[in-house]
Structure 1
Amino acid sequence: MNIQTNIKTADNGVDVAALHNIKKVLTEMPAAAQFTWRASCEWLGGVHSRSTMETFFGAGAEQAHKMPFSVEADHPVVFAAPDNAPTPVEIVLSALASCLTGGVAAIAQHRGIQLRSVKAKVEADMNLHGILGIDPDVRNGFNAVRISFDIDADATKDEIAAVVSQSQKRSAVFDIITNPGNVRVSVA
């Protein structure tokens, strides 16, 4: 009797074997799983700033990116600003979309699902009466966030939905937005 098993394979550019090795090492060495991410921010004038990410702590030691990365933030003309860069809240939405999209790619790779395209759209509603101090009962942040995916892949709709669900479950940025941790602000 000859039994054939179809094993789905995909190449979405994610090294799943390396991720499994990292998971194994971090399971065996829990202290190495503690990371401290950093960003420094410099005021450029008006409400325009530049944040730079260069080093972080993880895997038990100081780490550095291959090169420093920068992200600028500003506000649009309707806020009496020059609109030199996206707003900080748009950067948060970009981070959410990027984290979920990266998760979709990794999970699809692990499950043998070949992706052809992944597009995420994120929208968030905000009432400016909060941040402008017009109404103290209005929160400063988002009232609602909506994320929609358009994914073309060698998979059923249910398989794609399961990949997105798992990405959401494992997304650090999704967790940061939906379950904020303690934030402490100090002045040097």
Structure 2
Amino acid sequence: MITFTVEGKLQGDIVRACVAGKEIEIGLMGSDYPTPEEVLLSSALSCMILTIYYIAKERNVKVNNIEGYIEGTMDPRGFQGDPEVHPGLLEVNYYITVESEDRRINEILEQSIKRCPLKDTLSRPVKINVNWDIRNGKENKT
């Protein structure tokens, strides 16, 4: 088992998150910062591209280039509190171009769909635990 940890803190109207020692700034829709949904989608796209690369390398299949984009559809009414609409992404579409002369590339792509960790995570229920630590903001003086 591997556990990944990301820390974050609200500063003004953005969250500063620390990922692998690197800081990223995440904001709300309409801000100058990527939204949590865009960060999730960039992670999902990167994961698929890296999975293709990893499996190709594992099987000694030469890949000249991998690039693409990803789209996620969301209805903001869910985030705004409409109980009839899910607040998260409703659909995710990958668009990936792979350049390779090796005939085995289709096998690599089939395996990538099966083995990509974030594609898997997005496509099935995941156990989520939220642990709250509520503080009153006053210092305890003795």
Please state which band the TM-score falls in when normalised by the shorter chain: 0.7 to 0.9
2:127 is aligned to 182
Change over 3 Å in CA distance of 1:179–1:165 after alignment to 2: same
Q: Whole-Å Cα distance in 2 between the matches of residues 164 and 148 of structure 1?
A: 13
Which residue is equivalent to 1:40? Answer: 7
Match of 2:53 in 1: 105
The alpha-carbon deviation at position 175 of structure 1 amounts to 1.6
Amino acid at match of 2:26: A
Counterpart-to-counterpart distance in 2, 1:152 and 1:119: 9
Q: How far is 1:76 from its partner?
A: 4.1
Match of 1:166 among 104, 111, 122: 111
Matched with 1:49 is 15
Q: TM-score, normalised by structure 1?
A: 0.66
User: In the aligned structure 1, how far is the partner of 2:106 from the partner of 2:73?
Assistant: 24
The TM-score normalised by the length of structure 2 is 0.85
User: 1 CA distance for matches of 2:42 and 2:125?
Assistant: 17
Aligned counterparts of 1:69 and 1:178: Cα–Cα separation in 2: 28
* C-alpha RMSD of the superposition: 1.5
Structure 2 alignment gaps of length 5 or more: 134-142
Partner of 1:126: 74
Distance 1:110 1:168 in 2: 15
Segments of 4+ moved more than 2 angstroms: 159-162
Query: 1:110 Cα shift?
Result: 2.0
Structure 1's unaligned 5+ residue stretches are: 1-33, 55-67
Q: Summarize deviations over 1:134-184 as a string: whole Å, max 9, x none.
A: x3111111111110111111223xx33321221121111112111131111
Query: Quick one: percent identity of the two aligned structures?
Result: 25
Residue 28 of structure 2: aligned partner? 75
Q: Distance in 2 between matches of 1:153 and 1:128?
A: 39
Greater Cα radius of gyration, structure 1 or 2: 1
- Distance between the aligned counterparts of 1:143 and 1:161, measured in 2? 28
Residue aligned with 1:167, SS: helix
Structure 1 residue 143 and structure 2 residue 90: aligned?
yes
Residues 29-85 of structure 1: CA distance to partner in whole angstroms, max 9, x if unpaired? xxxxx1211011011111x1111134xxxxxxxxxxxxx1222211343xxxx41x2
Give, in whole Å, the separation in 2 of the partners of 1:163 and 1:72.
Answer: 34
